[in-house]
Amino acid sequence: MAFPVSSKIIFFLLLFLFLLSATAQRSINVTLGSSITANKANSSWVSPSGEFAFGFQQIIPGGYLLAIWFNKIPERTVVWSANRDRLVQEGSKVQLYADGRLELRDPRDQQIWAATSSRGVAYGSMLNTGNFVLANSSSVVLWQSFDEPTDTLLPTQKLNKGGILVSSFSKTNYSRGRFLFTLQNDGNLVSYTRNFPLDEPIFAYWSTKTTGRGFQVIFNQSGNIFLVAENRSVLNFVSPNEASTSQFYHRAILEYDGVLRHYVYPKSSDSEGGREMAWSSVDFIPSNICTSMGERSGFGACGFNSLCSLGSDQIPHCDCPYGYTLIDPNDRMSGCKPNFVAQNCDEGARETDLFSFIDMPNTNWPFSDYALFKEITEDWCRQDCLNDCFCAVAIYNNGRCWKKQYPLTNGAIDSSLGGKALIKIRNSNATVYSSVFKKSESSTLIIILSVFLGITMFLLLSLLLYVFCFSRQKSKSLQPYQDLPGLNIRRFSFKELEVATNGFKEELGRGACSTVYKGILKNDNIEIVIAVKKLYKLATEGEQEFKAEVNSISRTNHKNLVQLLGYCEEDQNRVLVYEFMSNGSLAKLLIENSRPNWYKRMQIAFATARGICYLHEECKNPIIHCDIKPQNVLLDEFFTAKISDFGLAKLLKPDQSKTTTGIRGTKGYIAPEWFRNMPITVKVDVYSFGILLLELICCRRNYEPDVEFETEMVLADFAYDCYKEGTVNLLVADDEEALGDKRFDKFVMIAIWCIQEEPTLRPTMKRVIQLMEGSVEVPIPPNPTSFGTSV
């Protein structure tokens, strides 16, 4: 019982610190007449908590920026600045004059910058929120830095209509750069490329599509960023909060690469045991800036002739294609120039034999084409581009050939692009294989995943620690069930379960590695119905492994997961005890019931998606289910779908039926990578979910031998055929409810995305939910099998 005591101590400590900072907040005023001079002494006006400072930062030798920054973080993190386009020399001064003007003047006393409001100012103050304010004697704020953001938003800051963030030019150059993010007066929240060096936008690459509705962007006290309507209803969650603001510093910044990122940084360094701290990104938009550029004009994400690819770090990288070099070697976004002499255009001197191609799969420069040929071969496409001195690059995809000329715009490498780019270069350079391609191709999903998981786990761990301290009181009532340390599940004796199940009498279901029985636990006057799962064919006999897995399963808690109540481990017996789901499995519902109604089916689809998403993204140790199918989606008394059997993949021997296909060519729920020598990732569950979604939409099994036409036997194939032919209504025949729902087509498209044979093409479950909810447009899905055959 040591915990409640220590948690109380921590609580009072925090309360004390809170009170301390609350009183300190009212004790620092920047009085009229105060000033700071730009020099190496680094003097600044610091907030009462010491967390923010207002003053000068030396950016280059002899070049100072009047700025606000995070003052307790070693890494320079500027959140606001006054003179980003015009650094000032040493000896420049910012002064709060006696008449209330706040001005920045250079050593020759020339005004560089001034706060826009001065009438009646009595004092200035650097607040603990990172907001520098000028106020009158009744403490009414007359001017605040929060109203004139540069590229960053902080918790409690708002972006009003007309408000704008302009990205920096580069990581180290704070002057205004190439992108902007604005809440337009029409209510739409938009990211634009900027017509550098002018402020006008070129084209939008991300928006909330809230014209006429958006009113204000709020970064609230708890670290959520969202767009609200005038009546305060939330229109769009720009970034959810994943880390408590009491434990982490937060900021959202439109970075020099055009991505708006929500970053967090742990406030206390002790918890990490001396590990090096850094800002970590919890969310960002757009999800892939490389493929978001939807118009020809402008430099796109990376500059002309350049190629953008999302690295394993989820950061866009700009690379020149082989045979090209950066125009400005110090600026990766400056664009690329060919480092060979252009092809001669004179008739009779075409030099066709002096040029050849570098092939780059999944690469394209959309919108730069001046010619398109259809139904031709790749060889024909190559020859035609070779003969054409205007042709810098040809894109070949599925019998089509697009010819592109300079400057090539919005270049990107991404598996969603398909096809290949044939990059024409002079022969002397053609022998070495492209390094860009090799690099991007080998950056595997695994790395992305592990980096992402690493960050998430770290955040969750820190959160967990925090929650631990404060939620102990609540969990105390469950003490009797406690056995594994820190868990609220109970260890049963085998005898107990034998009694509960009346000698394992009523069988509920049977799988390759387990049998499930119904049981009743009697506790005082309460009866609880349970499902008792006896496991055999365990992958490991080890006690430790079993405990570890049970431990990890028991830590999951989501309304769309079947809750584990306890376990038994005695001699050779390994048993898991779950809550009982009175309406059986989805498989039973689909087969037995006379077609459950459309809305109920879609509710089940949503619930299943949320359950899987939780396993993938929100668990401390992400769980790949590996066996999503209707038999494993159970329904409780209210027909709420809950996923069962998660976490067992590691515990049980691989199901033999998985490694040998039953009927060849019949697609089951099992993703193709199981049969190929490919890494198994969370995307296998996305595939299975895709099949399940199709079954829910069409209300039939994936494989149905008793159908009129052979083409309809395998639902996955049938669905894509129908989609391609524009006859999706055939999928649901006479289901008026489905046909009447305007989301119907969209759900079919989402399912087709999920069953792409190429795992990287499948969306994540988080994405699937966004697509289903309609917060993101569903792009046209490719043929699920196209990737494997064409490249």
Ligand X SMILES: *[C@@H]1O[C@H](CO)[C@@H](O)[C@H](O)[C@H]1NC(C)=O
Cα angle value 563/502/551 (rounded, 5°) = 25
Contacts of 207 by beta carbon, 8 Å cutoff, 6+ apart:
188, 189, 190, 191
Pair of tokens at residue 343: 């092809």
CB of 75: closest distance to ligand X in angstroms? Answer: 10
285 vs 568, beta carbon nearer ligand X: 285
CA pseudo-torsion sign 187, 193, 197, 198: negative
Strand order in the sheet with 248-254: 152-153, 248-254, 260-266, 280-285
CB of 279: closest distance to ligand X in angstroms? Answer: 17
d(CA 220, CA 237): 12
- Tell me the β-bridge partners of 573: 570
**Alpha-carbon distances of 498 from 519, 541, 563, rounded to whole Å:** 9, 22, 21
91 vs 654, beta carbon nearer ligand X: 91
CB of 252: closest distance to ligand X in angstroms? Answer: 14
38 vs 751, beta carbon nearer ligand X: 38
CB of 605: closest distance to ligand X in angstroms? Answer: 25
CB of 422: closest distance to ligand X in angstroms? Answer: 17
CB of 225: closest distance to ligand X in angstroms? Answer: 9
45 vs 226, beta carbon nearer ligand X: 226
**Alpha-carbon distances of 774 from 209, 596, 767, rounded to whole Å:** 12, 23, 10
CB of 251: closest distance to ligand X in angstroms? Answer: 16
435 vs 657, beta carbon nearer ligand X: 435
Q: What is the largest CA-CA distance in the chain?
A: 99
137 vs 479, beta carbon nearer ligand X: 137
Contacts of 14 by beta carbon, 8 Å cutoff, 6+ apart:
246
48 vs 668, beta carbon nearer ligand X: 48
The CB density around residue 330, as the number of other CB atoms within 10 Å, is 8
Residue with the two structure tokens 């709020």: 218
323 vs 647, beta carbon nearer ligand X: 323
d(CA 457, CA 464): 10
CB of 29: closest distance to ligand X in angstroms? Answer: 4
d(CA 266, CA 284): 19
d(CA 322, CA 537): 53
627 is catalytic: yes
Strand order in the sheet with 400-404: 355-361, 420-426, 393-397, 400-404, 369-373
Q: Residue 621: name the closest of 704, 532, 556, 702 by CA.
A: 556
Strand bridging mode 132-135 / 316-319? unpaired
Cα-atom radius of gyration of the chain, to the nearest Å?
Answer: 31
The CB density around residue 703, as the number of other CB atoms within 10 Å, is 15
Question: Catalytic pick from 257, 319, 627, 717?
Answer: 627
Applying CB under 6 A, which residues contact ligand X?
A: 26-27, 29, 40-42, 60, 63, 120, 122-123, 136-140, 169, 173, 175, 213, 220-222, 224, 226, 229, 231, 233-234, 323, 339-340, 428-429
Which residues are part of the catalytic machinery?
Answer: 627
